[in-house]
A and B are shown apart, each in its own frame.
Chain A
Amino acid sequence: MSNNMYKQTPSQTVGPYFAYGLTSEQYLYDFKSLANNELVSIDDDSITIRGRVFDGEGNVIPDAMLEIWDNQNNLFGRFGTGTEKDKGFVFKTKKPQSIAGNAPCLSVILFMRGQLIHSYTRIYFSDEVTNATDEVLNQIDNDRRRTLIAQKKDNYYLFDIHMQGDSETVFFDI
C-alpha cells in the first residue's frame, strides 16, 4: 500500500533530446548503447517489424522512442523514430510462440515529447490463428482490435501506431 512517505515519483516527458543518452549509437553519438533494434542476429528465424507513429493530425512523429520487450525470449530493444528515411521504426527480432491458446505478442513502451507519461501497447501478428482465442484481444472491441495486429507483408510486419483519431491504437493500463 502507498503512504505519504513513499508516493510514486511523478512521470515527466522524455522530451525531444533523449537521443544521445538513450539511443546514442543509432543517432551516431559517441556513447555506447545499452540496447538497439537488432534483438537477434539476422538468420532464417528473424522477423522485421516496421511502422511509424502518427499524431492526431496524421503527421508522422519523428522524435518518439519505442522499447519492445519479449519476455518469452528475454529480448529487449530500443529505437528512436528520427533516423530512418520515413521517420519510422524498425526492429529485427524473433517471433514468440503461442502459449496456452494465447497469441504470441511483444510488449511495447512508447515515449515522446508531448507525452507526460509513457504508453503501453502490444504487437500481435496477422498470420497467427491463435489471435482468435487470445484473452487480451478478445476483451477489446472488434473495431479497435486491429490496431494491435501487425500486418504481414512480403518480408516484414507493418505496425503503425496512431496516437489519436479513428484508428487510435489501443493503449493499456497495466
Chain B
Amino acid sequence: MSQLIYNPFDMEVHPPRLSPDYKSTILRAPTKPLVLLKQSLAELSGPVFGDFNLGEFDHDLTKNSIKNGEPLGERIVVHGTVFNENGQPIPHTLIEIWQANSCGRYVHKVDQHDAPLDPNFLGAGRCMTDENGNYKFYTIKPGAYPWGNHYNAWRPNHIHFSLFGANITNRLVTQMYFPGDPLLQHDPIFLAVPPKGRDLLISRFDLEATEPDFALGYRFDFVLRGHNATPFEKI
C-alpha cells in the first residue's frame, strides 16, 4: 500500500494568518513559524459522521425552525459538489452551515445588531454529500450586517460553511459569497484572500438549479486538499 500524502495548503489562494486590515488577526494569528509535521495516521484519519441521524429538515433552513409561519426573505437553493484537488468528488463529506437571517441578524446571543430576529429562522443546517460528492441546501438569502472592524464596516452577504472530509487534514471552514455584491471590495475578510483565490469564494447564479415559482439557485463547489496517490478508494 502506497502511503497517502496530502498536498499542503495552497497559499496562492488561502489568506495569510496575519492580515492587519482584519484587525482581530493582529493579536490572534500565530507569529512563530509552523512546525512541519510528517502526516501520520492521526492526520490521515478523522471522525466518521455517517451514523449521525441527520434530521429530516437539517438541510432545509426554510423549514427546520418553523414556529408559526414561513421565514421571511428570499428563498434560495445552494448546491454544488465537493472535489479534491485531483478532481475527484468526495462523498460522505459533512457540510455544516450557519448564517444571518434576511435582515442581517444572527440568532447568536452576542449579535447585538439592531435588526429583527425571525422567529421562524434559526440559520443553521447541515447535510452529507451523496455518493457523487453533491450537496444541496434550501435557505433564505442572508442580509448584510455591520461589524466593528472599522468605521462603517459591513460584511457582504455570506453563508458560513464547515466541511469535514475523510480526515482532519481535509478540514475546511470558509464563507460563500454572492455574485455582484458591492460590499466585497470593501471587506477585509474577503480581501485577505489573495486575488487568485477570491473568485473561488463567490457562488454562481444557477438558472438550472432555480426552482420555478419557488427559489433562486446558486452553485458553489468546494475543492479540498488533494493527495499523491491517484486511485481513489472509498473508505
B-binding residues in A (CB < 8 A): 1-3, 5-22, 24, 27, 29-32, 34-35, 55-57, 59, 61, 63, 67, 69, 71, 74, 76, 82, 105, 107, 109, 111-120, 136, 139-140, 144, 163-164, 168-174
**Least Cβ–Cβ distance between A108 and chain B, in angstroms:** 9
Task: Give A55 to B31 CA distance when docked, in angstroms.
Answer: 11
User: Is B132 part of the contact surface with A, judged by Cβ < 8 Å?
Assistant: no
Q: Which residues of A contact B38 (CB under 8 A)?
A: 136
> Which of B8-16, B70-78, B133-141, B204-212 is the contact stretch?
B8-16
Residues of B within 8 A of A139 (CB): 35
Is chain A's binding surface mostly helix, strand, loop or mixed?
A: loop
B139 to chain A minimum Cβ distance, whole angstroms, is 12
Distance A68 CA – B220 CA, assembled complex (angstroms): 28
Contact A10 B107 (CB under 8 A): no
Question: A120 — which chain B residues lie within 8 A by C-beta?
Answer: 37, 168
B30: interface (CB < 8 Å):
yes
Residues of chain B contacted by A168 (CB below 8 angstroms): 30-32
What interface size band does chain B fall in? 35 or more
Known contacts A35-B47, A139-B35: A116-B85 contact under CB 8 Å: no
Q: Which of B64, B98, B190, B226 has the most CB of A within 10 A?
A: B98
Q: Beyond A21-B125, A139-B35: 5 further Cβ-contacts under 8 Å? A: A17-B106, A69-B42, A114-B27, A163-B28, A171-B34
Contact B223 A172 (CB under 8 A): no
Report which of A63, A109, A140 forms a contact with B168, defined as CB distance below 8 A. Answer: A109
Taking a contact as CB atoms closer than 8 A, the residue among A3, A12, A164 that contacts B15 in the complex is A12
A76 to B47, CA, bound (A): 6
* Chain B residues in 8 Å Cβ range of A69: 42, 45-47, 168
A73 to chain B, nearest CB (A): 11
Instruction: Look across to chain B and name the residue whose beta carbon is closest to the beta carbon of A31.
Output: B124
Chain A's nearest CB lies how many Å from the CB of B137? 12
Q: A22-B162, A116-B25 are in contact. Are A11 and B169 (CB under 8 A)?
A: no
**A119: chain B residues within 8 A (beta carbon):** 30
- State A116–B222 Cα separation when bound (angstroms): 17
Q: Say whether B13 contacts A163, CB under 8 Å.
A: no
B175 CB within 8 Å of chain A: yes
The verdict on A172 contacting B29 (CB below 8 Å), with A8-B85, A20-B98, A71-B42 known, is: no
Interface flags for B104-130 (1: CB within 8 Å of A; 0: not) read 001111110000000000111110000
A115 and B30 alpha carbons, distance in the complex (Å): 9
Task: Assess A12 versus B10: contact at CB under 8 Å? Given A21-B96, A115-B25, A173-B35.
Answer: no
* Given contact pairs A116-B189, A172-B37, A57 touches B28 in the complex (Cβ within 8 A): no
